[in-house]
């Protein structure tokens, strides 16, 4: 096979394979095939969606064929058994509460040496801390989201009561309050989607009871908040987040003791999120891309982290994982903070469970590519 008239005596070549002695592969055929299968399905769905967009954009009715001939391979998904803490990325005196989609611009608040929360709201980049102005003298702000341009969205309580919440946006050195809907005393931000729609909850007091409802500050019209609820039959509404197409996720009920998880479009009908088998309900906590997350509630309280695929309506629970889901990636990677083990646990798209290395037991954000997680530390995964 290897006859080579120009070099018949290649002793060195013959010994290369033996001498190279590589470490064993970190993947096996079954896992590699499972990853390939998932990637193939995602790609097929994306091709169909792109073809649909093209049809809509051109008004064409025939003659367009989705060929899927793009030769560039998708990057391999992150391996959560190969994550490392990046030293110095999160200063010890900062509690991070949000990060941008790349995981490089962080936001949070400063804590004093005793661990108590100070009044300083901060952004962090490459380990460098900058204090940003936030409304509410002497009270810390809580950043909720950071977008790709570095704009920070958050809220500050100006008093003890929840209806004292003030929503704000920090951009290019300036903090601006978002308007509170007419008839309400305060409002907080709970989610921002990729196009810049801001979603949260507005509060008003009726006698001694605080009522809340959903509110959206639409992208490009942040000065014109829109009150939204899933329907007139719901007296109590709690928005948990907003998907990239403007779909809201949250809970609603006619009484605060009977809250159920829904998705809805402003002005559109509500759709009840699927409930896990077993007869218990599940509480939705947020959304990212087409995935929502939360936890299963049994009679005793939170019982298992849960994720919903909003495209298919499917629900999954993970009863062997601590029931404290923190965030989900656009690909469905579920991040869980386990305070008992002081570890961050990741449930990958296929349902595999991985523990991230210490130090650091709390993650609050995951980058869009799933490779960077941020919280009490910054983890990068290959």
Partner 1 sequence: MDEREDAEFVDYVSGRLAGWHRAAYALCGSPHRADDIVQATVTGLYRHWLRARSADNLDAYVHRMLVRKHLDEHRRTWARERLLGILPDRPAPDPQPPEERHALRVALAALPRPQRTVIVLRYICDLSVDDTAAVLRYAPNTVKSHTVRGLAALRRILGDTARLR
Nearer to partner 1 among residue 1 and residue 172 (C-beta):
1
Nearer to partner 1 among residue 9 and residue 160 (C-beta):
9
Find the binder of partner 1 among 48, 52, 53, 76 (CB under 8 A): 76
By CB under 8 A, what part of segment 95-124 binds partner 1? 104
Is residue 69 involved in binding partner 1 (CB under 8 A)?
A: no
Is residue 181 involved in binding partner 1 (CB under 8 A)?
A: no
Nearer to partner 1 among residue 77 and residue 286 (C-beta):
77
Is residue 79 involved in binding partner 1 (CB under 8 A)?
A: yes
Considering only 15-23, 160-168, 195-203, 292-300, which stretch makes contact with partner 1 by CB under 8 A? 15-23
By CB under 8 A, what part of segment 316-355 binds partner 1? none
Nearer to partner 1 among residue 222 and residue 371 (C-beta):
371
Find the binder of partner 1 among 27, 52, 131, 341 (CB under 8 A): 27
Is residue 19 involved in binding partner 1 (CB under 8 A)?
A: yes
Half-sphere exposure of 347 (CA within 13 A, CB side): 25
SS (H, E, C) the chain: CCCCCCCCCCHHHHHHHHHHCCCCCCCCHHHHHHHHHHHHHHHHHHHHHHHHHHHHHHCCCCCCCCCCCCCCCCCCCCCCCCEEECCCCCCCCEEEEEECCCCCEEEEEEECCCCCEEEEEEEEECCEEEEECCCCCCCCEEEEEECCCCCEEEEEECCCCHHHEEEEEEECCEEEECCCCCCCCEEEEEEECCCCCEEEEEEEEECCEEEEEEEEECCCCCCCCEEECCCCCCCEEEEEEECCCCCEEEEEECCCCCCEEEEECCCCCEEECCCCCCCCEEEEEEEECCEEEEEEEECCEEEEEEEEECCCCCEEECCCCCCCEEEECCCCCEEEEECCCCEEEEECCCCCEEECCCCCCCEEEECCCCCEEEECCEEEEC
Is residue 14 involved in binding partner 1 (CB under 8 A)?
A: yes
Is residue 30 involved in binding partner 1 (CB under 8 A)?
A: yes
- The nearest distance, CB 93 to partner 1, in angstroms, is 24
Count residues near partner 1 (CB under 8 A): 45
Is residue 311 involved in binding partner 1 (CB under 8 A)?
A: no
Is residue 35 involved in binding partner 1 (CB under 8 A)?
A: yes
Is residue 128 involved in binding partner 1 (CB under 8 A)?
A: no
Is residue 74 involved in binding partner 1 (CB under 8 A)?
A: yes
- The nearest distance, CB 149 to partner 1, in angstroms, is 16
Taking a C-beta distance cutoff of 8 angstroms, is the pair 154, 189 a contact? yes
Angstrom distance (rounded) from CA 87 to CA 337: 20
- The nearest distance, CB 20 to partner 1, in angstroms, is 6
Angstrom distance (rounded) from CA 106 to CA 89: 9
Considering only 12-20, 117-125, 130-138, 178-186, which stretch makes contact with partner 1 by CB under 8 A? 12-20
- The nearest distance, CB 150 to partner 1, in angstroms, is 15
Nearer to partner 1 among residue 83 and residue 144 (C-beta):
83
- The nearest distance, CB 103 to partner 1, in angstroms, is 10
Closest CA to 102 of 144, 148, 169: 148
Is residue 75 involved in binding partner 1 (CB under 8 A)?
A: yes
Angstrom distance (rounded) from CA 325 to CA 246: 22
Place of tokens 């992150």: 78
Considering only 37-45, 279-287, 323-331, 336-344, which stretch makes contact with partner 1 by CB under 8 A? 37-45
Is residue 13 involved in binding partner 1 (CB under 8 A)?
A: yes
- The nearest distance, CB 369 to partner 1, in angstroms, is 10
- Give the interface with partner 1 as residue ranges (CB under 8 A): 1-7, 10-17, 19-30, 32-33, 35-37, 39-40, 43, 72-76, 79, 82, 104, 380, 382
């Amino acid at each position: 096979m290897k006859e080579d008239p120009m070099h018949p005596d290649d002793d060195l070549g013959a010994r290369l394979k033996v001498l190279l002695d590589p470490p064993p592969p970190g993947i096996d055929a079954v896992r590699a095939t499972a990853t390939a299968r998932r990637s193939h399905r995602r790609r097929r769905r994306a091709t169909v969606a792109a073809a649909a967009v093209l049809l809509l954009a051109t008004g064409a009715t025939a003659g367009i064929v989705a060929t899927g001939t793009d030769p560039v391979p998708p990057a391999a998904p992150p391996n959560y058994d190969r994550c490392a803490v990046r030293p110095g990325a999160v200063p010890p005196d900062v509690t991070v509460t949000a990060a941008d989609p790349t995981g490089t611009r962080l936001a949070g608040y400063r804590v004093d040496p005793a661990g108590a929360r100070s009044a300083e709201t901060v952004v962090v980049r490459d380990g460098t801390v900058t204090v940003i102005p936030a409304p509410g003298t002497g009270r810390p702000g809580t950043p909720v989201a950071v977008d790709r341009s570095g704009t920070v969205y958050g809220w500050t309580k100006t008093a003890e009561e929840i209806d004292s919440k003030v929503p704000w946006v920090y951009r290019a050195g300036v903090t601006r309050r978002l308007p509170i809907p007419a008839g309400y005393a305060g409002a907080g931000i709970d989610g921002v989607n990729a196009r810049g729609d801001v979603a949260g909850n507005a509060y008003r007091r009726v006698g001694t009871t605080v009522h809340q409802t959903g509110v959206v500050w639409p992208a490009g019209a942040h000065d014109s908040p829109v009150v939204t609820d899933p329907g007139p039959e719901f007296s109590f509404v709690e928005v948990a987040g907003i998907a990239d197409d403007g779909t809201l996720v949250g809970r609603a009920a006619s009484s605060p003791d009977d809250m159920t998880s829904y998705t809805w479009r402003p002005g559109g009908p509500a759709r009840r999120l699927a409930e896990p088998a077993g007869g218990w309900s599940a509480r939705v906590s947020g959304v990212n891309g087409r995935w929502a997350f939360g936890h299963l509630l049994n009679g005793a309280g939170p019982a298992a982290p849960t994720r919903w695929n909003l495209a298919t309506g499917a629900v999954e629970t993970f009863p062997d994982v601590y029931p404290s889901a923190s965030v989900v990636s656009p690909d469905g990677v579920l991040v869980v903070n386990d305070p008992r083990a002081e570890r961050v646990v990741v449930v990958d798209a296929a349902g595999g469970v991985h523990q991230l290395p210490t130090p650091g037991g709390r993650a609050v954000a995951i980058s869009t590519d799933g490779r960077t997680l941020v919280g009490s530390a910054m983890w990068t995964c290959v």
